[in-house]
Structure 1
Amino acid sequence: MMGEGQQNILISELCSASSYLDRIFNVLSKLKNKNLDEQLEIFRQDLFDFFNNKNSLITMDQSTNSHINDIQNTIHFFNLFLKLPFKKKHKYEWGPEFINILYKYAHQFHLCCLEYGTIEIELPRVNILSCKERAGLPYFSLSIEDIVNSRHCPILSLEEKRKNKYTEFISLGNEAIYLKQVLKAKEYFSKAINLQETPEALTLLSWVQSLLGNTEDAKKLCHKAIKIDPDYGPPYNDLGTFFMEEGFFEESLKWFEKAKKSINYQNREYPYINSSRVYMKVKKFDQALKELQMALTLVPTHQVLHKTVERLIRKIPELSREKA
């Protein structure tokens, strides 16, 4: 059954579509084109047919009003229908259908506006809408299934959509890093943070900032991530790496130790490998080997790490002589 929450979300989406159309109509009113009048008449007739098909008692006569006025009045009429205590079944079925008619013509008329030059028309908020690109412009639609099958407050549906979008931005950011598109990665991770400020996203953006040479900003982001979740390991490791690269070896080892002790860390071998790098720099080769062996205990199938350990074992006698 449709609850008050679902009814409110339908009304909200109708208002969003209506406002989008109003912005388009405002531009259309300044354009003199006979074809536009013909298309507006088709739009108006489609809305009239919508009501005729739903109930034979509702029939529309010829109108002497302007096309746009009739369209706006029809939308207002449907808004009242959603608010009044009519059968919820009809609201479920008719609401998304009516809204999709609005978005169908909104897309068509928005494209018409663009033909007359670069005209900025604010798009609607996505909320629970689906959005696909058609002819270079977003085409919005409301899924009937999303409304009918919802078993929770719509806010929870929006929450799920927000989480999905967050995951998408994180994935796109990681892909950009892989392709060495650092600025693109920064954009995606920043968008992810706008949706959900998590330790994961903050740490990823921190790493990107370090790649761009913004080490102090990177450190601040790591500290922010740690404050949100002290058990999350990567920001400790990254802070250790930043200090290591700056030559503050003792400070870096402190952060690597914290990373090793963190509860939530998927790549637990990283702080051991990085500690080994520090010990190599300060010529404590036996300790460097020990750190690598600890890392290898965590990832015993890591072939590159096996070879690194083998090379270091062979080189330690020579390195020790050079040190002496």
Structure 2
Amino acid sequence: MNEEREGQDKRQEAMEWVSKAYQLHMKGEIEKAVALYTRSLEIHPTAEAYTFRGWARSSEKDYAAAIEDCHRAIDLDPEFGNPYNDIGAYYLEQGEPDDAIPWLRMALKAQRYESYCFPHFNLGRVFEAKGQFDLALEHYRKALDENPRYTLAVRAVERVKGKLAPKDPEAIG
């Protein structure tokens, strides 16, 4: 029982470091945030710490390290959806939309995920980049179904609807 309790205590301490790191991350203090996420991982590795450290690294365009962190997160907790979505987003940022698709689809299947709007939005971005506007619109709308206040998705729906509208007013009819 002591080992189990000790493990829970270490996880709790690690997650406290993740919380502190996240606060710095949101203030734009990326280097300090990465250091605290790393400290958390040294105490007790968690999928959250790896995922958020990857996200911090991605803000410095270190996509290889970000993707590596996400893979480590998936190894620890395959049901945590964030790292799948993040890998897809990093491939998108690198101009590799086809590589993003399987990761975004896996995010949608993850059991432990609170924000399915993000992989839908990112799939919309993939299909918009590929000129598949019907599929893009479908995913942007699904993102809005998940989070009706997601302003980026609202704008994306309007933008793609504009691309689907006939350009010649006389063609309507």
Fold-level match, TM-score > 0.5?
Answer: yes
Instruction: Identify the residue that residue 86 of structure 1 maps to in structure 2.
Output: none
Take 1:249 and 1:310, find their aligned partners in 2: how far apart are those partners? 19
Counterpart of 2:138 (choices 270, 279, 290) is 290
| Residues 1:189 and 2:37 are matched in the alignment | yes
Cα separation, partners in 2 of 1:157 and 1:199, compared to 1, 3 Å? closer
How well do the aligned residues superpose, as a CA RMSD in angstroms?
Answer: 2.3
Instruction: Identify the residue that residue 155 of structure 2 maps to in structure 1.
Output: 308
Take 1:189 and 1:201, find their aligned partners in 2: how far apart are those partners? 6
Residue 275 (structure 1) shift = 0.7
Take 1:203 and 1:313, find their aligned partners in 2: how far apart are those partners? 31
TM-score (norm 2): 0.85
Task: State the number of aligned residues.
Answer: 168
8 Å contact from structure 2 (residues 50, 69) kept in 1: yes
Counterpart of 1:202 (choices 23, 40, 50) is 50
Instruction: Identify the residue that residue 10 of structure 2 maps to in structure 1.
Output: 162
State the identity %: 25
Cα separation, partners in 2 of 1:293 and 1:217, compared to 1, 3 Å? same
1:288-313 CA-partner distances (Å, limit 9, x unpaired): 1100111122223x252563255236
Take 1:261 and 1:159, find their aligned partners in 2: how far apart are those partners? 29
8 Å contact from structure 1 (residues 209, 217) kept in 2: yes
Take 2:57 and 2:150, find their aligned partners in 1: how far apart are those partners? 30
Counterpart of 1:171 (choices 14, 19, 25) is 19
| Residues 1:242 and 2:90 are matched in the alignment | yes
Which ranges of structure 1 fall in alignment gaps of 5 or more residues? 1-151
The one-letter amino acid paired with 1:256 is L
Residue 245 (structure 1) shift = 1.4
TM-score (norm 1): 0.48
Take 2:141 and 2:66, find their aligned partners in 1: how far apart are those partners? 30
Instruction: Identify the residue that residue 28 of structure 2 maps to in structure 1.
Output: 180
Instruction: Identify the residue that residue 164 of structure 2 maps to in structure 1.
Output: 317
Take 2:85 and 2:107, find their aligned partners in 1: how far apart are those partners? 5
Instruction: Identify the residue that residue 261 of structure 1 maps to in structure 2.
Output: 109
Which ranges of structure 2 fall in alignment gaps of 5 or more residues? 168-173
Cα separation, partners in 2 of 1:305 and 1:175, compared to 1, 3 Å? same
Take 1:268 and 1:303, find their aligned partners in 2: how far apart are those partners? 12
8 Å contact from structure 1 (residues 203, 235) kept in 2: yes
Take 1:174 and 1:242, find their aligned partners in 2: how far apart are those partners? 19
Q: Of Structure 1 and Structure 2, which has the larger fraction of its residues in helix?
A: 2
